[in-house]
Amino acid sequence: MNPMVTTLLILVATMALFIWNRWPAAVVAVMSLLALYLTGVLTMHEALGGFGDPLIVFIAALLGIGIGLETTGVGTWAGQWLIHHAGKSRLRLIASLLILSAVTTALIGMNGAVVAMLPIAVIVCVQTRIMPSQLMMPVSIACLTGAKLTLLGSPVNVIAASAADAAGGAPIRFFEWSIVGLPLLAGSLVIILLFGPRLLPKRNSGSLPADFSRHAHTLVEQYRIADGVHRLRVRASSPLIGKLPGDIDVTPYPGLSVLGLLDDQDTELIGTAVAEGHHLLVRGDADSVGRLAGDLHLAIREPFAESQTITNALFNRSSGLAEVVIPPRSALVGQTVFPGMATHEGDLIVLAVQRGGNDVAGPATQLRVGDHLLFRGTWEALDKHFSDPQMLMVDAPQMIRRQTVALSRGAREAIVILLVLVVLLATNAVPAAVATLICVTAMVLTRVITLNQLYSIDWNTCVLVGGMIPLATAMSKTGLANLLGEYVIQVVGAGGPRALMAGLFLVAAALTQVISNNSAALVMVPIAVATAKELGVSATPLLIAVALGAGAAHLTPMSTPVNLVTYGPGAYQFGDYWKLGALIVLWSMTVVVVIAPLYWSF
């Protein structure tokens, strides 16, 4: 059989299986590449070459960078800021998020923007209870349409602008893309806000965490921590001056524990020696606190005004709370514990012990199966003990920190690395895959993320892309992509330049659903330039049509990394995309046919 016909049949079968959605999309993609090899269309190296493509490294590294931004609280900070300034209006919140996504894309490119916006979208979903399937796809659409606001928004823009210069047409300058980009974005926002709630699926994602926004406050209330917390101001004559909080011996005061050191603004000081004017945060009964204050020359300050203040003092960027349960057959069963005691390593403090939902009476108790303990310590210590099989964490400290602590440890490094990524992608100093690999490696070296966290990225996305690249290779190798483009041009070319623009747009939009937008643009650009010469018109408006068509990757999840990054968090299926995506594509074609020729004349 003719290789071109074989490729067409495999393409149709692959799309049908995607739409059927009976098998996982990654499995269908692998089946597609196997079919291309077994039918002889591609060699083994060509069929398996997708998994060695730089695009796979690019996507995997992008996902790793997204984990770094999320774990360090950068996304939490941006999400909290967005929620605070957007108010209680759900419509205003979604619109603000989408506009922010589009503007970010215009400045740093759509691939970098979706990485930066994904953690923010996750926080918005969790804290406002908006289903992720109602928000993740709109974020992708905003990034894709925002890519047409400036030259840097997408490599497709650079391809089209370079081709316009080479063809002698009207140039497409840096901000001139906004001539079509602004109406494209505005119309897309209206479509999303009006039709999105009905056309997008209502589906929760298993990859999103529970809402921990008030988790620390809940623990403080449940364990009644506020009842015994006191602030003691350090006087100039105190023997504690110069000591670290962890070195303070409170064993002569049974039931009393040192929780931390605060400045006069109630901000915790980590790794700082005690000095005059500092506040020592302790927990214990009033008698023990009074004796401690008298013996060590400490002034008892007024109690905290409300429990939220105590929560903020106990739960912050450097330290947190963790609730654990003693499981059956644990080596800790029978061990004696009491509030205020520290672990063997000295990095965690027991704040409270409960049995059956009630505080355990007495200064000390022997642990039983099912007992609940509340610990306080640094986030690093909590993460380390989370893997201890002798006790079960009720909620993973990492998940709590990601949601509730804005700009935690490593946030500064994560932001700097993100800015480096922006510069590398904007200047094209190194290939995109190399740029992202440099940045994700820097995140590991600076301990923003661990290797285990990096390995937890969604590898299904990488397999899906690796499996689809050979199909794009086969379409180019057999000439199927060029044949499809030329056929449509022959059909619509007699209808005039605007009809030709519509035809170019539709072919580019169709190709970009199954091959990368850059590949779709590269296939269509020569056809657009040749057609412009044949008709004696300017190539620039035709190239604008190609650029917008190649960027209209709204009908399938694998058409662009922007969709793939949000595919898992949105819990989408293959057939979810075309419903809302078709409206966006139609609006994009309207912008191409109606608005573009008004500025770039034929």
> Residue 311: what pLDDT?
67
Clarify whether residues 18 and 146 are in a common domain.
Answer: yes
Q: pLDDT class for 31, splitting at 50, 70, 90?
A: very high
pLDDT of residue 307: 55
Residue 324 confidence (pLDDT): 86
For every residue of 305-367, DSSP letters joined together read SSHHHHHHHHSSSSEEEEEEE--TT-TTTT-EE-TT-B-TTSSEEEEEEEETTEEPPSS-EE-
pLDDT of residue 437: 92
Kindly state whether residues 487 and 516 are assigned to the same domain: yes
Query: Taking each helix axis from N to C terminus, what angle separates 480-492 and 497-512, rounded to the nearest 10 degrees?
Result: 150
Which carries the bigger pLDDT value, residue 62 or residue 49? 49
The reported pTM is 0.66
Q: Which two tokens stand for residue 584?
A: 């966006």
pLDDT in tens, 160-214: 887 888 777 777 877 788 999 999 999 999 999 999 889 999 887 766 655 566 6
Mean pLDDT score across all residues of the chain:
81
- 306, pLDDT greater than 60: no
Verify that 239 and 134 share a domain, yes or no: no
Q: Does residue 142 carry a pLDDT above 90?
A: yes
Per-residue pLDDT of 316-334, as tens digits, reads: 777 788 888 988 888 888 8
pLDDT of residue 583: 95
Least Cα distance to 166 among 573, 576, 525 occurs for 525
312-338 per-residue burial string, b: 16 or more CB within 10 A, e: under 16: bbbbbbbbbbbbbebeeebebbeeebe
pLDDT value at residue 442: 95
Tell me: do 255 and 330 sit in the same domain.
Answer: no
Closest of 291, 294, 238 to residue 261, by C-alpha: 238
The stretch 25-40 carries a mean pLDDT of 90
Residue 496 is assigned to a structural domain of this protein:
yes
Quickly count: other Cβ atoms within 10 Å of residue 107's Cβ: 16
Domains contained in the chain, number: 3
| Residue 412 maps to a domain | no
56-66 tens-digit pLDDT: 887 788 778 87
Percent of the chain residues past pLDDT 70, beyond the cut: 88
CB atoms near residue 360 (< 10 Å): 21
Range from 128-132, 359-363, 489-493, 516-520 that averages highest in pLDDT: 128-132
Which two tokens mark 480? 């199927």
Residues 185 and 61 in one domain: yes
Contact 350, 341 (CB under 8 A): yes
Secondary structure of 167-181 as H, E, C letters: CCCCCCCCHHHHHHH
Which residues does 174 contact at the CB level (< 8 Å), separation at least 6?
150, 151, 152
Residues 271 and 375 in one domain: no
- pLDDT for 56: 82
Asked whether residue 96 falls in the same domain as residue 178, the answer is yes
Give residue 494's pLDDT: 66
Is a pLDDT exceeding 60 seen at residue 49? Answer: yes
Q: Could you give the C-alpha distances from 137 to 131, 185, 493, 519, 569, in angstroms and in order? A: 11, 14, 34, 23, 10
**Residue carrying structure tokens 């419903």:** 579
pLDDT of residue 584: 95
Across 217-243, average pLDDT: 81
In this predicted structure, what is the pLDDT of residue 397?
74
Query: What is the three-class DSSP state of 6?
Result: helix
Instruction: Tell me what pLDDT residue 111 has.
Output: 77
The two three-digit tokens of residue 600, written as one number = 């770039």
226 and 96 within one domain: no
Q: Check residue 76 and give its pLDDT.
A: 67
Average pLDDT (154-159) is 81
Region 487-495 average pLDDT = 70
For residues 90 and 105, state if they share a domain.
Answer: yes
Q: Is residue 115 part of a domain?
A: yes
- As beta bridge partners, residue 375 has 322, 350
Which among 348, 363, 394 is the end of a domain? 394
> Cβ-count burial of 209 within 10 angstroms (0-12 exposed, 13-18 middle, 19+ buried)?
middle
Length of the chain: 602
Residues 203 and 63 in one domain: yes
Q: Which residue has the higher pLDDT, 550 or 358?
A: 550
Same domain, 101 and 181: yes
29: nearest Cα among 515, 520, 469, 476: 469
178-199 helix and 539-551 helix, angle to the nearest 10 degrees: 30
d(CA 187, CA 492): 26
**467 found inside a domain:** yes
> Is residue 602 pLDDT above 90, yes or no?
no
As a whole number of angstroms, the distance between CA 588 and CA 537 comes to 22
Q: Give the pLDDT confidence score for residue 206 in this predicted structure.
A: 66
Report the pLDDT value the prediction gives residue 487, as an integer from 0 to 100: 72
Averaged pLDDT for residues 470-491? 76
* The last residue of a domain, from among 313, 330, 345: 313
Query: Among the three residues 313, 329, 352, which one is the final residue of a domain in this structure?
Result: 313
Residue 47 lies in a domain: no
Q: What percent of the chain has pLDDT over 90?
A: 15
Q: Which residue, chain included where needed, has tokens 């790794």?
A: 271
Would you say 172 and 540 are in contact if contact means Cβ atoms under 8 Å apart?
yes
pLDDT on residue 183: 95
Task: Tell me the pLDDT tens digit for each residue of 60-87.
Answer: 887 788 778 777 877 667 766 777 777 7
CB 201 within 8 A of CB 572: yes
| Across 70-84, 99-113, 126-140, 405-419, least confident range | 70-84
Nearest to 555 by CA among 598, 593, 520, 526: 520
Which residue, among 37, 136, 20, has the nearest Cα to 467 in the 3D structure?
37
Predicted pLDDT of residue 164: 85
CA 7 to CA 524: how far, in whole Å? Answer: 19
The CATH number for 380's domain is 3.30.70.1450
Q: Tell me if 428 is assigned to some domain.
A: no
Written in H, E and C, the secondary structure of 454-477 is HCCCCHHHHHHHHHHHHHHHHHHH
Model confidence at 38, in pLDDT bands (50, 70, 90)?
A: very high
> 447 exposed, middle or buried (CB, 10 Å; 0-12, 13-18, 19+)?
exposed
- At 511, the pLDDT band (50, 70, 90 cuts) reads confident
- In a domain, residue 590? The reply is yes
Q: Is residue 61, in this structure, part of any structural domain at all?
A: yes
| Domain that residue 350 falls in | 318-394
Looking at residues 540-569, what average pLDDT do you find? 87
- Considering the domain architecture, whether residues 70 and 196 belong to the same structural domain is answered as yes
